[in-house]
Amino acid sequence: MNALQVANYEGSLLPENKMIGKQILIVDDQEHLRELVQLCLEDLAGWNTLVAESGQECLEILKTERPNAILLDVSMPGMDGFAVYARLRSDPITRSIPVILLTARVLSSDTANFAEMGVAGVIPKPFEATALPGKVAEILGWND
């Protein structure tokens, strides 16, 4: 996908069982949000998930795991999502893993910056939980 996609929630139903077996790494410092995202991706899409509560934990997990994609919160204490993303892109092993940003910052200027960074897409917070798997699949081209 060449252009940055910002998720909207109209018509976001998943195709039947096309994405079983995918694994997503969820990185967010807010426990309730991690759990909600994990529940939606596992129960509604049938995907496997890994979770990290910090950027540092994300990088540790990626030393042994290779998820199909990463959902990355932008605003985290310590190492924020931008710093994590920069580290992912500087490593030849992780640079090809698609990253979707979860953020409350979705102004037009931010969207342009995110596109320049090369992220796969952006899902604005707050989001509709039941639509999340469909939006992730749409951004990653897993609907095809």
The tens digit of pLDDT for each residue in 104-140 reads 877 766 777 777 889 999 999 899 999 999 999 999 9
Burial of 58 (0-12, 13-18, 19+ CB in 10 A): buried
CATH architecture of 20-140: 3-Layer(aba) Sandwich (3.40)
Q: Contact, 143 vs 57, CB < 8 A?
A: no
**Annotated domain spans of the chain:** 20-140
Whether the Cβ atoms of residue 125 and residue 74 lie closer than 8 Å to each other: no
pLDDT of residue 19: 54
- CA distance linking residue 47 with residue 132, whole number of Å: 12
